[in-house]
Structure 1
Amino acid sequence: MAELTIRLACLPQDEDALWAILEPVVREGRTYPVDPAASRADVLAYWFAPDKTVFVAEVDGRMAGTYYLKANSTGPADHVANAGYMVHPDARGRGLARAMALDSFARARAMGFAAMQFNLVVATNHAAVHLWQDVGMQVVGRLPGAFRLPNGEMADALVMYRNL
């Protein structure tokens, strides 16, 4: 991979470049639990919810991916992190999601989290399932028919977990 920089997202200056990443993934409706018809404002509000810390990944100075990091739950379960990742379609298949995952694990550890949990990995997203398993995430549960694909079919969702 070319020169990769992962940094905190900054609004409003990063908004247009982030939207260029978020919009195609959301509109596709196959991998992320956000309404494909959601407005730009609603998608950005979701991605930048107050409980999330948002990062951007730049390849050779061009924003190509983003992820958020947050506590998966509260109180006695607040030691488990959660994250969501999106890669611009033009940057897929080049190791960027892997780099962001490993970066998120390191940052989560530094923030005091003991584990990472993904609550809804669409089982038909074979590339993501393979990648997450390759970086140490384990399938710990299956939610039958928990995700509605654009064609109306129901896909299973996986719960994945990894100690940090």
Structure 2
Amino acid sequence: MFVRTATPEDWPAIWPFLHRIVAAGETYTYPRDLGEDRARDIWMLEPPSRTVVATDADGTVLGSAKMNPNHMGPGAHIASASFMVAPEHAGRGVGRALGEHVLEWARSEGYRGMQFNAVVESNTRAVALWRSLGFEVVGTVPEAFDHPAKGFVGLHIMHRYL
């Protein structure tokens, strides 16, 4: 598996799984009817932020991550990131590879920590992955996410020092 900077040519491979994941409404706070142009604007970030893709040896895009400062000004020393793995490639270490890459990027860019602002508490695979990479739940906003099957569930705020 390879992780590299995403290019505009990668968008046609990212959009189908990003669209499916967002439309399912189980893990992201994006509107379920998010359109392609807005999704591209949200996901394909310009420097100093960064978007990457994970690919296999054949160049097939397996997943993607975007990373950026969590806040501006005096809060800009804490990074944030978002991750999406194509459902057909889940369970193959794509999320872990992207997570490790993002953490290394944030360290190399001089960030002091990384914070995830909205990890859906019912997304137990993601919560377990982030915990295994050193993140802690520093707070949970009760019933902040309206899950299509589980109803109102909490959103974790997760953090780790770099």
Picking from 63, 73, 76, the partner of 1:78 is: 76
Contiguous gaps of at least 5 residues in structure 2: none
Q: Aligned runs of 1:152-163 on 2, under 5 Å?
A: 153-163=151-161
* TM-score, normalised relative to structure 1: 0.93
Q: Aligned runs of 1:139-154 on 2, under 5 Å?
A: 139-151=137-149, 153-154=151-152
Q: CA deviation at 1:103?
A: 0.6
1:59 and 1:141 map into 2 onto residues whose CA distance is 36
Greater displacement, 154-163 / 40-49: 40-49
1:37 and 1:87 map into 2 onto residues whose CA distance is 19
- State the one-letter code of the partner of 2:98: M
- Tell me the equivalent position of 1:8: 5
SS at match of 2:74: helix
2:114 and 2:7 map into 1 onto residues whose CA distance is 24
Equivalent residues of 1:21, 1:64 under 8 A apart: no
Q: CA deviation at 1:48?
A: 2.3
1:55 and 1:156 map into 2 onto residues whose CA distance is 28
1:82 and 1:152 map into 2 onto residues whose CA distance is 26
Cα shift readout 1:44-92 (whole Å, capped 9, x = no counterpart): 1111255741111101221010000000011121110000000000100
Q: Aligned runs of 1:88-107 on 2, under 5 Å?
A: 88-107=86-105
Is structure 2 residue 30 aligned with structure 1 residue 57?
no
- Tell me the equivalent position of 2:115: 117
* TM-score, normalised relative to structure 2: 0.94
2:64 and 2:160 map into 1 onto residues whose CA distance is 21
Identity %: 34
Is structure 2 residue 9 aligned with structure 1 residue 25?
no
Is structure 2 residue 101 aligned with structure 1 residue 126?
no
Q: 1:91 to 1:152 in 2, by over 3 A?
A: closer
* Structure 1 outlier segments of 4+, above 2 Å: 48-52
1:38 and 1:20 map into 2 onto residues whose CA distance is 12
Q: CA deviation at 1:151?
A: 4.2
Equivalent residues of 2:62, 2:85 under 8 A apart: yes
- Tell me the equivalent position of 1:43: 39
2:149 and 2:129 map into 1 onto residues whose CA distance is 25
Q: What number of residue pairs does the alignment pair up?
A: 160
Contiguous gaps of at least 5 residues in structure 1: none
